[in-house]
Structure 1
């Protein structure tokens, strides 16, 4: 059983209009649950917060199921098995899966994946070796497909997905240009091998910045942000360019979506391919991507950064900070210490 009888759980207190705030979240205290047949009781070690969670706070249908008001919030979690009731795990095993924003959760065995703490730090299974890393891997290798000598542009470049995507494109031999939101983030991009970093917050003319950074045009575009940067990219796409639409964080808190895109006519001239994708589309191939990502991390060819917020109680602040660009790399919440 757990060391404590109290389990803190974050609930959706109300549906936000526009940007969420502290009133969106309610921290409730409940008893630590008992695992039912085929379930494991898991103690949360690290929890992920991600921009897509904003969509789950809406009532509208989306690719991710909406949360009802009063529901526990959910996230990718790395945790330690405390107790197993026929779930196929032993106490002390480290697992990852979709769980609640909570100290403890009960999860059916088939919904958990065991991870190897000796292969890489356990936090990486929520970042570079987890959903963001897989998103970057398949968004680059299968969707945007940058080749040697081509120019690859990525927005949200200092985030968990964008930073990995740019490095994989660089491993493919492409010239890599990244948009990020501070001089510190631009320095990070340069440290991990990007050819050009652009601070979009201090750049008045995105088109002019792209003309300087990508004088031969753009062959592959990995879009995490949308908005005005994407408007500037489309007229600069080369013939047969590939565009992967991964996220639109610039619009996630908008109460009215602005008219657009306004540059679709440019696709006629460039004959570019635009493809939206979800990482879940490639889940059957994670056994291919994760070992490759792990090899690149171990060899130093793929670097990563994590921004870690301490304490479950501070999870809303970590989530809200995503929309201010507070994080470099993967934003995580450390909930408890790993005993291994």
Structure 2
């Protein structure tokens, strides 16, 4: 008995040595051990689950019957009728609220602009010296930008302001351009008689309107410039007129000024922008003094504050002594 046990132990020891001597690559892994019946049950459960899910999510094509065809036709008919009604209503709404090219999007009042000058606060300052070439060049450029957009007709209209080719700033008679801004389709109500002018209008404007004929007073937006310091005798000359002609003034296209059938006169048109600009030429300006000037346009339905320009004009000139100094007084 003991001998048999000894033989078995030796055999196991030899097998162990043989196993330890074998390389790992010689061992082939056959996978986890599973019972075949349990695997078949699991595969069956997975197949049943996939089948039930496919039944819930499947959407087979319905059978095409006459009832279904009628429903489809009714659906598409109602859909396109509603779509057509919506498109038609939207088109009519756009056409009803469409803004014509020559009409404004909203009504507004015109304003008053001027050139040259620089804005400082609520006023525009015009400071220059006839001996300062840089200041004169800046003024010429500003005036040219304001007039060149009107072409040769603009230069012809403002010719009285630019006789010295420096817009009067070289000779002490500066010219200020006043422009009433565009307000499409605006219809101004003008003062057609001096008696209708407000009480706060300047007296010299009242006298000017009184001196005009009856036909020359209609459809005129009057312009007045006034020095605030009563001790100064600054003179104003308006080029070419002292008013803006209100007839077809706020239109976007050309207007007929002469509809005569005469061959000599013919018919011609004028850009209304030309009649929205005038010049105010100043004279008798004292040097080295700040001159406050207010220029206004007068119409019944335009607020006065919207067509009022506040200007500060100063002509800088060198100061020369009135009496020559004696040599002895100079050293004293």
TM over 0.5: no
**Higher Cα radius of gyration:** 2
| TM-score when normalising by structure 2 | 0.23
**More strand by proportion, 1 or 2?**
1
| TM-score when normalising by structure 1 | 0.22
**More helix by proportion, 1 or 2?**
2
Query: Which structure has more RCO (C-alpha within 8 Å, separation ≥ 6)?
Result: 2
